[in-house]
Amino acid sequence: MPVLDFGDALNLALREEMRRDRRVYCIGEDIVLGVPFGVTKGLAEEFGPARVRNAPISEAAIVGSAMGAAITGLVPVVDMHFADFVTCAMDEVANQIAKSRYMFGGQISCPLTLRMPYGIGKSAGGHHSNSVEAWFVNIPGLKVCIPSTPADARGLLKTAIRDPDPVLIFEHRGLYRVTGEVPEAETLVPLGLADVKRPGTDVTVIATARMVGESLAAADRLAGEGISVEVVDPRSLVPLDREGLAASVRKTHRVVIAEEGPMRGSVGAWLAWVIMEACFDDLDAPIVRVAGPNIPIPFSPPLEAFATPGAADVVDAVRRVVK
């Protein structure tokens, strides 16, 4: 199986979908050159400037125009540049894209994909580093996916583009250069299907995006202590594979939830309730959560490191639930 990095896997997905369907186009700031993460690099050469559209710094117009195009026959893939900037287009995402189909009684469909480069790292500071997926999980009308591997990134982005509804794909910028095997054949990853990244028997770690890799590293360490960790990646948060998560919990009876975003009001809090509702009688210990602190991401390296949950936090959390 070929090995690609996460960013190249996304690039491949875009290329495949743009070749398959002439209605698909990309729009965003600096996407012709693929700045800053290289995901759209080279697409303009193959598909031309009308389908790989560099936009002015106008987030509301980028996202709004993509919706206008989507409801009248095109299939836009919007690059948000950095997910933090989505606040400049929050009306378009939260009020227009998410609500129109519903408010208009199903008359209007909005097949739009919003690529959300996000996450902590490299002292990028408070306007380029936050994990904001929880904002969107709370908005009815949006589907939200969050890949952790190159293969999932390609498969989920392709599914998102083909989905008739608006889908947000959260691409952790710390994963762009992480490599992994990607199937030669075109593969779609369905929304709402969790994936067991590592089977185990003593504890289920439910982790998203960068925290999946951290959790796998933690599982390696814990294996040395005789603790068998199952790492489950939901891959999409809306829709959520409740049954897939519950099946793992029924096997292990212990749960750690690991995410990068702030602890308060987070996706992990929602997942904990989902598990509690589905498997309360199966739980042998209270659910333990690993998440970021409730602060904007700071700049200075030691401060940023403090705000970054990692494998060591997962190790501590697992030890707490199995003791």
Partner 1 sequence: MYATMLRIRRAEERARELYAAGRIPGFIHLSIGQEAVAAGVCAPLRRDDYLFSTHRGHGHLIAKGGSLRGFMAELYGKATGCCKGKGGSMHLADASVGYLGANGVLTSGCVLAPGVGQSIQMRGTDQVAVTVFGDGAANRGPFHEGVNLAALWKVPVVFVCENNFWASTTAHDLSTAGGSIAARAAGYGIPGATVDGNDALAVYHAMESAVARARAGEGPSLIEARTVRFMGHFEGDPQGYRSRGEVEGGRQRDPIVRLRAHLEEAKLLDAAHAARVAAAVEAEVQDAVDFAESSPLPAPEDALQDLFVHYPWSD
Shortest CB 321 distance to partner 1, Å:
26
Q: Does 72 bind partner 1 (CB under 8 A)?
A: yes
Give the bridge partners for 54, in sequence order.
28
Q: Does 81 bind partner 1 (CB under 8 A)?
A: no
Catalytic residue among 81, 127, 128, 172: 128
| C-alpha to C-alpha distance for 210 and 151, rounded to whole angstroms | 14
Shortest CB 62 distance to partner 1, Å:
8
Q: Does 196 bind partner 1 (CB under 8 A)?
A: no
Among the listed residues 16, 30, 163, 282, the single contact to partner 1 using CB under 8 A: 163
Shortest CB 146 distance to partner 1, Å:
15
Question: In angstroms, what CA-CA distances link 90 with 86, 87, 98, 173, 247?
Answer: 6, 5, 11, 21, 36
Nearest to 76 by CA among 58, 62, 57: 62
Shortest CB 93 distance to partner 1, Å:
11
Cis amide linkage into residue 296, ω under 30° from 0: no
List, in sequence order, every beta strand (DSSP E) within 131-166: 143-145
Per-residue DSSP letter, 139: S
Q: Does 302 bind partner 1 (CB under 8 A)?
A: no
Shortest CB 232 distance to partner 1, Å:
15
**What would the DSSP string read from start to end of 91-107?**
IIIIIIITTHHHHTTT-
Residues 6+ positions from 309 with CB-CB distance below 8 Å:
211, 214, 258, 259, 260, 290, 291, 292
Long-range CB pairs of 137-142 (<8 Å, 24+ gap) are 137/237, 137/238, 137/267, 137/270, 139/93, 139/94, 139/98, 140/98, 140/102, 141/97, 141/98, 141/99, 141/101, 141/102, 141/165, 141/166, 142/93, 142/97, 142/98, 142/166, 142/167, 142/168, 142/238
Among the listed residues 55, 80, 157, 182, the single contact to partner 1 using CB under 8 A: 55
Shortest CB 14 distance to partner 1, Å:
17
Nearer to partner 1, 89 or 287 (CB): 89
Helix axis angle for 267-279 and 242-252, nearest 10°, is 60
Nearer to partner 1, 76 or 117 (CB): 76
Q: Does 155 bind partner 1 (CB under 8 A)?
A: no
Cα 195 versus chain centre, distance? 14
Q: Does 29 bind partner 1 (CB under 8 A)?
A: no
Shortest CB 221 distance to partner 1, Å:
33
Q: Does 318 bind partner 1 (CB under 8 A)?
A: no
Nearer to partner 1, 111 or 261 (CB): 111
Among the listed residues 12, 169, 229, 238, the single contact to partner 1 using CB under 8 A: 238
Q: Does 60 bind partner 1 (CB under 8 A)?
A: yes
Q: Does 144 bind partner 1 (CB under 8 A)?
A: no
Say if CB 6 and CB 177 are below 8 A apart: yes
Q: Does 224 bind partner 1 (CB under 8 A)?
A: no
Q: Does 31 bind partner 1 (CB under 8 A)?
A: no
Q: Does 30 bind partner 1 (CB under 8 A)?
A: no
Q: Does 289 bind partner 1 (CB under 8 A)?
A: no
Residue 128 among the catalytic residues? yes
| C-alpha to C-alpha distance for 160 and 75, rounded to whole angstroms | 10
Q: Does 243 bind partner 1 (CB under 8 A)?
A: yes
Q: Where on the chain is the footprint of partner 1 (CB under 8 A)?
A: 25, 50, 55-56, 58, 60-61, 63-74, 76, 91-92, 95-96, 100-109, 140-141, 143, 163-165, 190-193, 238-243
User: Which sequence positions are flagged as catalytic?
Assistant: 128
